[in-house]
Structure 1
């Protein structure tokens, strides 16, 4: 079986990132664990955005809207964490 379809290759990459998430969560501790897991999560989100949401085929405005949505979500999580830390 030849793996030539891009979506199938992305799916394989996502499964490998899933395995690396499980391995990292069981073996790593401390702030290094957080950095590794956030990097893996960002890589998975980027693959999903780029391939499954077809942003590589869209115009600049659609890419900008998706980037703005991700940025807005990051701002909301930042405010949520600041509220949690101050209470």
Structure 2
């Protein structure tokens, strides 16, 4: 049996670029929070937050280099969490109508 694991080493340059992107997106978040976009305030904030979370997952948590099984299990857990949160919102919304 082969006991060697494939290693992935991310260079400091890539980590620095990701860090700079996260800092820039944080600045964009602060800038957008002072602008009134009407009904688009929440979607824009969620888009920026999702982009930052994706960068953190891919590079700092090394999901970019994981096997398909780990990625599918992570995505299914996030989808299941979304379903549970959606059901909670429906419960709260229709609680006062019964």
Report the TM-score, using the length of structure 1 for normalisation.
0.81
Structure 2: runs of 5 or more not aligned: 1-11
Paired residue total = 84
Relative to 1, partners in 2 of residues 1:60 and 1:6: Cα closer, same or farther, differing over 3 Å? same
1:28 deviates by 2.5
Determine whether 1:62 maps to 2:31: no
Matches of 1:83 and 1:23, distance apart in 2? 35
Determine whether 1:34 maps to 2:42: yes
Which of 53, 73, 83 pairs up with 1:75? 83
Q: Give SS of 2:34's match.
A: helix
Which one has a larger percent helix, Structure 1 or Structure 2?
Answer: 1
Q: Give SS of 1:28's match.
A: coil
Cα RMSD (Å) of the superposition? Answer: 1.7
Relative to 1, partners in 2 of residues 1:77 and 1:22: Cα closer, same or farther, differing over 3 Å? farther
Report the TM-score, using the length of structure 2 for normalisation.
0.73
Look at both structures and tell me which one has the larger radius of gyration over its CA atoms. 2
